[in-house]
Amino acid sequence: MSQLKQKFNFTIIKQGPAAARLGLLQTPHGTVKTPAFIFCATRAAMKSLTTEQLRAANTQIILSNTYHLMLQPGPASVQAQGGLQKFTGWRGPMLTDSGGFQIFSLGSGNVADEIKGRRLLGQEKTLLKIDENGARFRSYVDGREYLLTPEESIRIQRGLGADLIVVLDECTPYHVDKMYTKDSMERSHRWALRSLQEYLAQDNGAQKLYGIVQGGVYPDLRQQSVAFVNDNEFFGNAVGGSLGADKQQMYDVVALTMSMLNKERPTHLLGIGGIQDLFNGVLHGIDTFDCVHPTRIARHGGALVKPWNRDENLGREHINLRNGQYKQDLEPIESDCACATCTNYTRGYIHHLLKTETSVAFTLIAQHNVFFMNDLMHRIRTAIEQDQFVELREQWACQKPKNEMVMEAELSVTN
């Protein structure tokens, strides 16, 4: 057991501008170079991609979801088949979330929109009750009732076998008031202590536990929650809960939270994956991120592109290959991308696949988007190493074509 415990370690190898940093997150199944992006293989699979394709796109670590896997196929089934490593064929660093994010979704509708302050109504809500014991809900698979407690969440995650696991929490929506946020945060703290006790009681050295900072948009609650996480023996930190109604409020909440957190631990930002959000998080010391965004937009024809490859009029981080302008386009998604999609296929061909509803289109775009995100994180790590992170951040915020950017750079050197 002691030998296995030595396989977990987090080392900061370089401090960049502000709180940005390079790190090495060592697990029994491999070492993750941070900052890094964690891709969501929610039901023990990435939609449209195999684990081999993930590796080919330079993916370091993936995430699976406790809530979905407890319902289908069940943790005992996954454990009997060798845990997530053998079950998925990944055999690399893995993280499981606790199910708390889905608890919130069951009670409040669409998760991502609610976190960002956009409430969607009319969706089926299967959460029955949240109380001190845990969350009681009805399965979307077969209608059965379940009670997910902090202890059960840890036991399930232990059976799934991920390297990094997370305490059970309630992820509060943006629209609730401060009193509800405070009560929820305090209950989540009590759940976290129960999660920690269950984890320590059966600790075999094969996993490490992250605590979660809650508190919504309220500075005093965030301060209390940071103090709670700092004061308990978690291996890592996770920043969760509502981060505000807009980008600026989210950035303010992240900055405040990170200024107080224990900086010797790896820190994860839950559910955030926009390009500028990554740069902002790294600037404040975030080490890992997760989000379904890269593969979700792929299923709608969205391909991530660098600032100089974007349509300036749209102001988005991606192009929509369903649009008619790409019907006869003989260029790859990005001519300066080395992914398997861009080196073999054109925008026009992918447009055709989308229009004919051929599913391989989603694979090709997802393959590009995963490679894109990994390449971006590699660029960020290289920039921190070379003391050029601020310059890279400014470059990626720019909406100008590449040739104009090169021209301006040349002019600045000349003058």
Q: What angle do CA 10, 11, 15 make, to 5 degrees?
A: 130
Contact 49/43 with Cβ under 8 angstroms?
no
Amino acid identity of residue 141, one-letter, is V
DSSP string of 163-192, one letter each residue: SEEE-------TTS-HHHHHHHHHHHHHHH
Tokens encoding 363: 């694979």
**97 belongs to the catalytic site:** yes
Name residue, tokens 């997530």: 84
Q: How far is it between the farthest Cα atoms of the chain?
A: 71
Q: Single out the residue of 254, 175, 172, 177 nearest to residue 219, CA to CA.
A: 254
Contact 150/192 with Cβ under 8 angstroms?
yes
Distance (Å, whole) CA 55 – CA 359: 21
Which residue in the list 163, 169, 290, 375 is annotated as catalytic? 290
Name residue, tokens 């974007």: 310
Cβ contacts of 256 within 8 Å, gap of 6 or more: 219, 222, 223
Which residue in the list 97, 163, 277, 375 is annotated as catalytic? 97
Distance (Å, whole) CA 23 – CA 380: 12
Catalytic residues: 97, 290
